[in-house]
Amino acid sequence: MGLDGPMLTIATANVNGIRAAYKRGMGAWVESRRPDVLLLQEVRAPDEMVGDFLPPGEWDLAHEACEIKGRAGVAIASRLPMSAIRIGLATGVPVDTGRWVEADLELPAVDGGAPRTLTVVSAYIHSGQAGTPKMDEKYAFLDRVTARLGELAEAGGLTVVAGDLNIAHRNVDIKNWKGNLKSAGFLPEERAYLDRWFDDLGWTDLGRRLGGDGPGPYTWWSWRGQAFDNDAGWRIDYQLTTPDLADAAVSIEVDRAAAWDERWSDHAPLVATYDL
């Protein structure tokens, strides 16, 4: 059960800095959309500031700031109570912090049955840069993500891993795929990680399963030029679900702004509704 009816709404968004996003109108979107669970990336703020925008009286919060000030940062804001929080995928490298946070949420019991748990993850994968040490950092982190996804899949139950993965999976996931075959975010080695997650570990790409065969719908457009107006985007924001949660999903939408100057981030929120 969702908090406002039979459905549960989970939204994920790379906010490009929560302070800047709220100045541009993110708060109005939160109030109109009213997601039950909000997964944020690139928060770029300390714990107390996240609570200023998403007050604890209204939300249960989990947040991991990056050790490098002004970078990364992931958060979970939930109207459902949290029973456990797990922070990070330990690597010992500062650039890998602020990229992974998990929370177990308490779902209402159905028809007098036992309480249930929904595990949610907010993830922010490095953007990388082809041919540089930044790609090595990205691949090292992707290896840890793959290991954790294997553990979560083996545990079963209801789990969603959502966020900005900074990888477009197929040609239909990027407008100018021919021009980006050697670009970070669309390298064969990166895309192979998604193949493994879907084909070997059993995760469902909900955006593709419920969003049609493509091209798109895209979730990120450069601030520069006419990328947004021409819909020259990338689909790099995902909700990945375990099989049981995939079966409960009824819709997924990209909340694309009506116009370039109405955007509060260079990413659009990806919002899924689940019948739980």
d(CA 223, CA 24): 14
How confident is the model at residue 15, as a pLDDT? 98
Q: Which of 237, 250, 206 is nearest to 13 (CA)?
A: 237
How confident is the model at residue 244, as a pLDDT? 95
How confident is the model at residue 206, as a pLDDT? 97
How confident is the model at residue 6, as a pLDDT? 65
3-state secondary structure 185-219: CCCHHHHHHHHHHHHHCCCEEHHHHHHCCCCCCCC
Per the CATH hierarchy, to which homologous superfamily does domain 7-275 belong? Endonuclease/exonuclease/phosphatase (3.60.10.10)
Which positions of the chain have pLDDT values less than 50? 1-5
Q: What is the pLDDT of residues 87-121, one digit of tens each?
A: 999 888 899 999 999 999 999 888 778 889 999 99
Per the CB < 8 A criterion, the answer to whether 219 and 206 are in contact is no
How confident is the model at residue 28, as a pLDDT? 97
How confident is the model at residue 78, as a pLDDT? 97
How confident is the model at residue 131, as a pLDDT? 92
Collapsing DSSP to helix, strand or coil, 144 comes out as helix
d(CA 38, CA 61): 10
Domain ranges of the chain: 7-275
How confident is the model at residue 202, as a pLDDT? 98
Q: Which of 121, 209, 229, 223 is nearest to 169 (CA)?
A: 209
- Indicate the DSSP class of residue 126: -
How confident is the model at residue 129, as a pLDDT? 94
How confident is the model at residue 98, as a pLDDT? 96
Q: What is the pLDDT of residues 188-216, one digit of tens each?
A: 999 999 999 999 999 999 999 999 999 99
How confident is the model at residue 1, as a pLDDT? 43
How confident is the model at residue 5, as a pLDDT? 45
